[in-house]
Amino acid sequence: MLKVLKSGFFTTVQDSGRFGFLNKGVPVSGYMDSFSASKLNMLLANPTDAAVMEITMTGPTLQFEKPTYICIGGAEISVTLNNEPLRHYKVYKIGEGGILSYGRLKKGFRNYLAIKGGFKTPLVLGSRSFYPPITPKSHLTDGDKMAYDSCENFKPNISEIKVAPFLDEKVLKVYKGPEFELLGDKQLKSLFVKEFSIAKEYNRMAYQIEENLLGHKNSMLTSATMPGTVQITPSGKLLILMKDGQTTGGYPRILQLSDQAISLLSQKRYGDVISFKMALRHNLV
Amino acid sequence: MSGVGNYSISIRSFGVHAVLVEWPKEVCGAILNDILQFVNYLENNCLDGAKYEIVPSYNSITLVHRGKPIVFEEFKTKLNTWYEERNATPTKQKFLWRLPVCYDLEFGIDLEEVSEKLGMSVTKVIESHTHNVFTVYGIGFLPGFMYLGGLPTSLEVPRRSTPRLKVQKGAVGLAAKQTGIYPQESPGGWNIIGNCPIPMFDPKSNNPCFVSVGDQVQFYQIERAPYDLCKIEGEVGIYKPEKIKLDA
């Protein structure tokens, strides 16, 4: 078992997502920054859907009751294992009773802690990702215990990788959304020339943008939305849906973020600056 | 009912992992039926269900692919061909669900206000709400939240000017052309006229929401005592909602 001594600001368990229930209104959920989280699972030779811990802003203090291997990455946070500082994207062994302690956030917003074999919180509709009320908990609290398989001997193929720094980037690569053509010249110009900032309302469901575009009077019938869908409200407010975002919506979907852009935006917080740039479809695999 | 492939559909990319297929912008049973026939054809004959999810809603379907990006032009051509070639495919079996609602004022906190706004007695509002058969045009916004179409104009009442921060689980609401059930406690701006004790979403079940897009819903009035019983049965998972098979 892993014991949550202190839970931190908003710590959850997330895997690659909950699939197969979009037509019943269930969001995909899963780790927000899949770019960082999937690298950690790779280092630990985990299955791609192994559950990791998503640590938001202020991290937890955790005690491991059985030996295992771990790896951290994503937002830059100082983390210690038994008071020794850890490097990001490096595999470490944790002995029985080891204490992992999160310190100060330096850059980015969401850090990931991966464990050999993944965290074994209950599977609900095929996924371990927290999403209330589908899962009983919305986030970890002090004193929680979580199951994992102990591991004594693991020899990683690669024990450490260098990840190109991306936390300072601010350009979100986007594709045209289904209602892109509704945008007028002025809206288009603002959208691709101006810089925007993250509003106070931002979470795993959606990020709101502080600066509005010109409003509009277009109406549409409710239709599907996805993580990364950028909607425009009648007043011109931009809403970017994220992993826990609703599966349908009635506002025009003007842009769709690339997977990379969803990961990048996940690392942004209130006041951070972003801009939009059209991605070339054929360049992306 | 319309024939097969009678509509002119538009196919557009929606990011690299999804494609949107749209029918004419109308809320209409014939279009919904055509959409669901196509969905059934795609699921049974064309697409690998493990890799694709299909989200139908009003006049569109969105096909979401897990994993690699979709090669759009190629996929669009295929979709057009599939739409043309499908014969009179049936849709999946559809059901009419009869759902109990308690309209007591304790639950129907806006019922008196609604009755005033509509110029209709409370009894008449309930009668009209339970008399109608609604069609499920979409499921979204929250897990198990149904977008129901077919509200008579006499029941159209604007959404509340200030949304409530908390609307009870099971609350039955009216807003403009829509009526529906809040499947969980949530913020909401609809006028609340009653409460349905049946859980519309059960995460412990493999089929967590018994209703599907294309099904029909009719409400019937229950008193407080049967409400409490249904509620307990729903919570322990033994309540079986009443359903009637519909012709395809």
Residue B86: per-residue pLDDT: 84
Q: Residue A264 has which token pair?
A: 């990048």
Report which of A98, A102, A34, A104 is spatially closest to residue A68, judged by C-alpha positions: A98
Mark yes or no for CB contact B145/A25 under 8 Å: yes
- AA letter at B167: V
Quick count: other Cβ atoms within 10 Å of Cβ B247? 6
Break chain A into its structural domains and give their ranges: 2-146, 171-283
A111: left (phi over 0), alpha (psi -120 to 50) or beta: beta
Q: Indicate the helix (H) or strand (E) that contains B76.
A: helix B72-85
Report d(CA A191, CA A185) in Å as an integer: 10
Residue A98, SS3 per DSSP: coil
Average pLDDT over residues A185-191: 95
Q: Is the pTM of this model over 0.80?
A: yes
Mark yes or no for CB contact A25/B212 under 8 Å: no
- Interface A–B counts its CB contacts (< 8 A) at 121
Contacts of A134 in chain B (CB under 8 A): 143, 201, 203
Residue B5: per-residue pLDDT: 59
Report which of A145, A140, A246, A238 is spatially closest to residue A191, judged by C-alpha positions: A238
Residue B168, SS3 per DSSP: coil
**CATH code, residues A171-283:** 2.40.100.10
A281 to chain B, closest Cα gap in Å: 7
Mark yes or no for CB contact A22/B55 under 8 Å: yes
Report d(CA B212, CA A23) in Å as an integer: 8
Backbone angles phi, psi at A249, to 5 degrees: -160, 165
Contacts of A133 in chain B (CB under 8 A): 184, 203
Residue A280: per-residue pLDDT: 79
Mark yes or no for CB contact A222/B62 under 8 Å: no
When mean pLDDT is compared over B15-24, B43-52, B229-238, the highest value belongs to B15-24
**B11 vs A: CB within 8 A:** no
Domain A2-146 identical in fold to domain A171-283: no
A53 to chain B, closest Cα gap in Å: 22
- Residue A241, pLDDT > 80, answer yes
DSSP state letter for A83: T
B109: left (phi over 0), alpha (psi -120 to 50) or beta: alpha
Report d(CA A155, CA A116) in Å as an integer: 11
**B141 vs A: CB within 8 A:** yes
* A20-73 pLDDT tens trace: 999 999 999 999 999 999 999 999 999 999 999 999 999 999 999 999 999 999
| Residues in CB range of A244: below 8 A, 6 or more apart | A27, A29, A131, A203, A204, A205
Mark yes or no for CB contact B213/A228 under 8 Å: no
* A197-209 pLDDT tens trace: 999 999 999 999 9
A285 to chain B, closest Cα gap in Å: 7
Quick count: other Cβ atoms within 10 Å of Cβ A7? 20
Backbone angles phi, psi at A154, to 5 degrees: -135, 125
Mark yes or no for CB contact A178/B20 under 8 Å: yes
* B20-49 pLDDT tens trace: 999 999 999 999 999 999 999 999 989 887
Residue B2: per-residue pLDDT: 41
| Residues in CB range of B218: below 8 A, 6 or more apart | B96, B97, B98, B99, B130, B132, B133, B134
- Residue B161, pLDDT > 90, answer no
Write the class of the CATH domain A2-146: mainly beta
Task: Using a pLDDT cut of 90, give the percent of chain A over it.
Answer: 94
* B68-126 pLDDT tens trace: 899 999 999 999 999 998 876 777 899 999 999 999 999 999 999 999 999 999 999 99
Question: Is the separation of the CB atoms in B241 and B95 below 8 Å?
Answer: no
Average pLDDT over residues A97-119: 97
Contacts of B58 in chain A (CB under 8 A): 221-223
Report which of A216, A190, A200, A182 is spatially closest to residue A275, judged by C-alpha positions: A190
Report d(CA A35, CA A32) in Å as an integer: 9
CB burial of residue A40 (10 Å; 0-12, 13-18, 19+): buried
Calculate the average pLDDT of chain A: 95
- Residue A285, pLDDT > 60, answer no
Contacts of B20 in chain A (CB under 8 A): 178, 223-224
Radius of gyration of chain B (CA): 20
- Residue A13, pLDDT > 80, answer yes
* B48-59 pLDDT tens trace: 877 999 999 999
- Residue A186, pLDDT > 60, answer yes
Domains parsed from chain B with CATH numbers: 10-85 (3.30.1360.40), 94-246 (2.40.100.10)
- Residue A260, pLDDT > 70, answer yes
Mark yes or no for CB contact A134/B203 under 8 Å: yes
| Residues in CB range of B31: below 8 A, 6 or more apart | B7, B23, B24, B59
Helices (H), chain A: 34-43, 185-193, 259-266
Average pLDDT over residues B159-165: 87
Mark yes or no for CB contact A124/B203 under 8 Å: yes
Q: Which residue of A has its CA nearest to B169?
A: A133
Question: Is the separation of the CB atoms in B195 and B231 below 8 Å?
Answer: no
Residue A282: per-residue pLDDT: 55
Mark yes or no for CB contact A224/B140 under 8 Å: yes
Report d(CA B169, CA B185) in Å as an integer: 4
pLDDT band at A97 (very low <50, low <70, confident <90, very high): very high
Average pLDDT over residues B130-151: 95
Mark yes or no for CB contact A223/B60 under 8 Å: yes
pLDDT band at A101 (very low <50, low <70, confident <90, very high): very high
More reliable by pLDDT, A161 or B88: A161
pLDDT band at B1 (very low <50, low <70, confident <90, very high): very low
Q: Considering CB atoms only, which of A134, A176, A284 is closest to B69? A: A284
Q: What distances in angstroms separate CA B232 from CA B115, B145, B192, B226, one per listed residue?
A: 30, 21, 22, 10
More reliable by pLDDT, B1 or A172: A172
End-to-end CA distance of chain B: 10
Residue A270: per-residue pLDDT: 97
